[in-house]
Structure 1
Amino acid sequence: MQNLLAVDWDYFFPTPTAGAPLGGHPELYAWPVAEDAIHVEAMWLRRVKDFVDRGLPLPRCSGFEGFWDRFNIAPGAMVVYADSNAWAGQLFPSTFGGEGPWHSVHLYDAHHDCGYKNNTRSFEEWKRQGQIRAENWMLAHYWNGSQLHVHFPPWRETMARPTEEPVIPVSMAIDDGHGAPDVTFDAVFLCRSGAWVPSWCDDQFEEFLSACPAKPVEHPQNVWKHPRDDVRRMYELSCRRGAGSDVGGRHGQ
């Protein structure tokens, strides 16, 4: 009766596209997403520019303080972290010396990761292809017979926006931010979700990781830069260089 707790860092980063209030500039969050170096690292320099040029404060993560206190995590539980949630689809009790499937997998995430019909038409189709990715890793545990539970963040306004259409039956609900499943978690997986959460929140991720009651271990196949480049400073420096060039050009006329 072992249980896995999976936490996606974007659970703490409200975005209108994932159901947060629209706010004054929802268009700034219409980000194309892909798990590659461009979207995980370089793209944030372009995105920080959009906020700075409009004189807006950079959005930050919130609500992660005290999060771990809600859960009963077994003494000696293994905590694994990486940038992508896809690795959680390869974690089973046997990974930690146990056997059989997880009794339950509880995911705290802004997305359900149970296969999306725009790229996975059915569970049977996924089984034939057999590819575990960030958007479908929960299917591996469904196939193994685990009970799946998806907990969306409290900042999500309604289950109607966006409409969720996983390719498997799964328990989904908006988390109240206080309660917790009545189980003991034998393992925890935490992903940074660098394509979804800005690099300017990496310091907060470190704080969240350090607060975990068990010792975190980086997934051996994880590939990332952490912390990522400070895009705020990079953009400020580029603006200064641009201003300097402009002044030099006027003086040269």
Structure 2
Amino acid sequence: MEKSLLSIDWDYFIKIRPEWCGSYIENERCLVDIWYKRYIEENIRGINLEKEIYINTNTKRFWNFIKERFNLKKDIEVFISDSHKFSYKIAKDNKCDNIILFDAHSDLGYGGLSSLEFELNCANWLGKLFKDNIINKSTIIYSPYTMEQPNDFSELNSKYNIEYVMNRWDIEYEQFKNSEISAIHICRSGAWSPPWLDKKFYEFIRNSELKVRKLEDITRDWNPKKLTFSDEINYLIG
């Protein structure tokens, strides 16, 4: 039976502003500081980002949908991280043939085939799984909030077996009837998902009612009410 990794990016459920959809290094500045900067800038304009940026209500029925439509391995583990790059190792360790990806980004690599020559990162892990002959196909189920199109990856599409699903998620996936989900990876992608939604992220994980293994520390300090005027200046100019 074919083995699949179900890889879920938390940003799948979040509509963020187009100007925030850049390429970021996953460090403290991009995971925390940049969100304080955005929050303070918008607060000056009279906009409360904590009320403006929220999660899609599909999170409430997502796990029922997954369990109804996919064949989950008995005692399956859910791996948790901030970075999506861990999907590479999880797929390799579990000898997966296929990746089923729920995401706002393809993570195939953003420079054609040449981007697969870079070191493993959150933006190219899926492409590198193909390049290293670890998987032979993938289905990318795009978020309704994605800024991408399948033809953005024409060079990779011509070489690898990649299917895209646009603007729908709660459908029957007949092609996976004979596929076993061997592992599940949920990443937070903190550079693209705001810290005030972290509690919802943990709630989403708990709602899976599955065994969870954390791969890295994902705690973030978010408390804008504690900021001093000096803190705000530092974030704005930092």
Under TM normalisation by the shorter chain, which class is it?
Answer: 0.7 to 0.9
Aligned length: 213
Identify the match of residue 37 of structure 2 among 41, 46, 62.
46
Q: Which residue pairs with 1:55 in the alignment?
A: 46
TM-score by length of structure 1 reads: 0.74
After TM superposition, the runs of 4+ consecutive aligned structure 1 residues lying more than 6 A away are none
Post-superposition shift, 1:87?
0.7
1:138 paired with 2:126, answer yes
Q: Deviations over 1:123-159 (max 9, x none)?
A: 5x63xx4621100101232222321111111344884
Q: Deviations over 1:151-195 (max 9, x none)?
A: 1113448848xx622652221221413125343412100101011
TM-score by length of structure 2 reads: 0.78
Q: Which residue pairs with 1:195 in the alignment?
A: 191
Task: Give the structure with the larger helix fraction.
Answer: 2
Instruction: Letter of the 1:139 partner, please give it.
Output: G
Is residue 39–residue 48 contact of structure 2 (8 Å, CA) maintained in 1? no
Post-superposition shift, 1:207?
0.6
Instruction: Letter of the 2:156 partner, please give it.
Output: I
Deviates more, 1:68-77 or 1:184-193: 68-77
Counterparts of 1:158 and 1:38 in 2: how far apart (Å)? 25
Counterparts of 1:166 and 1:230 in 2: how far apart (Å)? 39
Post-superposition shift, 1:214?
1.4
Correspondences of 1:31-180 after superposition (within 5 Å): 33-58=24-49, 59-62=53-56, 63-71=58-66, 72=70, 73-92=72-91, 95-96=93-94, 101-117=95-111, 121-122=112-113, 126=116, 129=117, 131-142=119-130, 143-156=133-146, 159=149, 164-165=152-153, 167-169=155-157, 170-180=162-172
Is residue 102–residue 141 contact of structure 1 (8 Å, CA) maintained in 2? no
Is residue 78–residue 188 contact of structure 1 (8 Å, CA) maintained in 2? yes
Post-superposition shift, 1:15?
2.6
Correspondences of 1:205-224 after superposition (within 5 Å): 205-219=201-215, 222-224=216-218
Counterparts of 1:77 and 1:67 in 2: how far apart (Å)? 17
Counterparts of 2:231 and 2:17 in 1: how far apart (Å)? 34
Counterparts of 1:159 and 1:8 in 2: how far apart (Å)? 17
Counterparts of 2:6 and 2:170 in 1: how far apart (Å)? 16
Q: Deviations over 1:21-51 (max 9, x none)?
A: xxxxxx5x46662211111122211111123
Instruction: Letter of the 2:91 partner, please give it.
Output: F
Counterparts of 1:191 and 1:36 in 2: how far apart (Å)? 15
Q: Which residue pairs with 1:20 in the alignment?
A: none
Q: Deviations over 1:198-233 (max 9, x none)?
A: 1111111011111113111111xx244x1x112432
Instruction: Letter of the 1:85 partner, please give it.
Output: H
Q: Structure 2 unaligned runs (5+)?
A: 233-238
Is residue 35–residue 195 contact of structure 2 (8 Å, CA) maintained in 1? yes
Q: Which has the larger radius of gyration?
A: 1
Query: Cα RMSD (Å) of the superposition?
Result: 2.7
Q: Which residue pairs with 2:236 in the alignment?
A: none
Instruction: Letter of the 2:88 partner, please give it.
Output: G
In structure 2, the CA distance between the partners of 1:65 and 1:51, relative to structure 1 (3 Å rule), is farther
Q: Percent identity?
A: 22
Is residue 99–residue 135 contact of structure 2 (8 Å, CA) maintained in 1? no
User: SS of 1:43's equivalent?
Assistant: helix
Instruction: Letter of the 2:105 partner, please give it.
Output: H
Q: Which residue pairs with 1:24 in the alignment?
A: none
Q: Deviations over 1:38-94 (max 9, x none)?
A: 11122211111123222223212223111111113333111101000001011136x
